[in-house]
Amino acid sequence: MVRSRLLTLFALFVSFQSFAQQYPYQNADLPVEERVKDLLSRMSLEEKVRQMDMYNGADLKENNALKLSAVEATFSDGLGVGSIHDLYPRNAKDINDLQKHIIEHNRWGIPAIIFCEFLHGYTGEGSTAFPMNIGLGATWDADLMKRVGQVIGMEGRAHGVHFGLGPNLDLGREPRWGRIAETLGEDTHLSATLGTALVQGIQGDDLSKNTAMIAEPKHFAVHGSPEAGGNSGPILYGERSVRTDFLPVFRKAFQEGGALGAMAAYSEIDGVPMASNQHLLTEILRDEWGFKGIVVSDLGAIRFLQTSHRSTSSPRESIKAAITAGVDMQFYDFPNKQYQETIIDLVKSGEMDESYVDRAASGVLRLKFMLGLFENPYTTQALIDDRHHSEGNQQVALEAALKSMVLLKNDNNLLPLDKAT
C-alpha cells in the first residue's frame, strides 16, 4: 500500500514537473502554427483522438450544479477533452471548476472548448434576446447585424463559452421546411452580406479577447432546401446550382468573415451525404477557400450515414468515411468510448492514416491557442453580471426589433383570410 502511494505521488510529481517546464507550445509569443506543431508532436495517438470528441455537459451536472465526482470519473484517464456542450445552466464557478480540473488532469494542460447555441441571441440565463434570423434579414442592415454579433460574442464569452453553433446561413427557399425562421431569407446576396457581418461581430478582431467567440456557419451546405420540406431530406441540386446559389453565402462567411467553425449537415446533396462529402468538406472548403477551422458534424450526422442514408454498413465505416472526408469532431454521434476506440483502431490497423487524426486534432488545438485558452481559460461572475442584458445590449435588441418589422400590403383585401376557404 505504501509503495503504491509513493509510486502515485512520484508519477504526479513527474507529471507536474513536466507540465511546469516551458515547452515551446506554452510560449504565447510564438506563432500559433508553431505552438500547434510543437504540442501535436508531443501527444500520443489517444490524446490526439480525444481532441476530436465532444462530451455532453448534462452528464457532468446534478440538480443544475456541476458534479465534480462526475467530472473526475469522466476524465480520470488524463487524456483531456476536445469540447463540452449542453452545460446548462452556466455560471462562472462551474465553468472555472470544470476547466481547472481538465487542465490539471492532462499532462499538457490542454483546456476544453465550451460550446453553446445562439439561435437568436446567446442561450444563457439573463442573456439578450433578438428577433429570429428571418426578422433580422428584413432589416437589410449589415452594421446592425455586426453589433448583434458583438452582443452575442461578449455575452457568451463572459459565461466562459468559446464556440457558438451558428449562425444559420441556409437559404429559405422551401416554404414547407419547418426551420425557415432560422434563415436570413431566400436571397443569396442578402444572406451572404448579413451572415458575414454577424460572423464578424461574433468573432471580433481577436479571438483571445474576452468579447469574442468562434462562429460556426450552418448547415454546410444547402440544407435549407430539402425535397418536400422534410428536415434533413435529400437535396436535389447539381453542382452548378449549388455553386451559383448556395455556396456563395458560406464562402463569404468563411473567406471575408473569417468563420472558424463549420457544421456538416445531415442531408445529402445529389445523392452524397454531407457528412462524408469529401468534395465539399475538403476540396472546396479547405483547398479552394483556405478554411483553417474545424468541421463539426451536425448532431448525429455521422451515425445517419448508416441509419438514414445507408451509405455505410457499420459505425466503423461511418466514422472512417466522415473523418477522411473532412469532419474533425463528432456531435453526440456515438458514445465517446466507442468513437475514440474506433478511430484509434482504424489507425493502428492501417485502415486510416494518422494524418487525418493530425489534421483534426491540429484544428482543435489551433482554435484553443487562438482563443488564448492556454493563457486565460477562466471567467468571472462580475463579467457575467456586467454584460448580460446590459442597457447597451438591450438598445441593440430594441433597434433590431424595430427594424425587423415589415408592413404588408393588403391588396384586394386578401387579409383576413376567409375561414371558410
Q: Per CATH, which fold does 113-371+382-403 belong to?
A: TIM Barrel (3.20.20)
CB 136 within 8 A of CB 148: yes
Q: Which amino acid is at 210?
A: N
Give the residue among 89, 152, 143, 142 at the shortest CA–CA distance from 121.
Answer: 152
pLDDT exceeds cutoff 60 at 217: yes
The share of the chain scoring above pLDDT 70, in percent, equals 95
Q: Which of 6-10, 22-26, 272-276, 347-351 has the lowest mean pLDDT?
A: 6-10
Q: What is the pLDDT of residues 298-346, one digit of tens each?
A: 999 999 999 999 999 999 999 999 999 999 999 999 999 999 999 999 9
pLDDT exceeds cutoff 70 at 4: no
Q: What is the pLDDT of residues 92-135, one digit of tens each?
A: 999 999 999 999 999 999 999 999 999 999 998 889 999 999 99
| pLDDT, mean of residues 247-256 | 98
Residue with C-alpha cell 492532462?
A: 106
Separation between Cα atoms, residue 284 and residue 21, nearest integer Å: 41
Q: What is the pLDDT of residues 138-187, one digit of tens each?
A: 999 999 999 999 999 999 999 999 999 999 999 999 999 999 999 999 99
Sign (positive or negative) of CA dihedral 209, 158, 249, 267 = positive
Q: What is the pLDDT of residues 13-69, one digit of tens each?
A: 545 445 566 999 999 999 999 999 999 999 999 999 999 999 999 999 999 899 999
Q: Rounded to the nearest 5°, which phi and psi values hold at 242?
A: -60, -45
pLDDT exceeds cutoff 50 at 9: no
66 in helix, strand or coil?
strand
Q: What is the pLDDT of residues 364-382, one digit of tens each?
A: 999 999 999 999 999 999 9
Give the residue among 217, 233, 355, 369 at the shortest CA–CA distance from 295.
Answer: 217
Q: Which amino acid is at 49?
A: V
Query: Where along the chain do its domains lie?
Result: 113-371+382-403
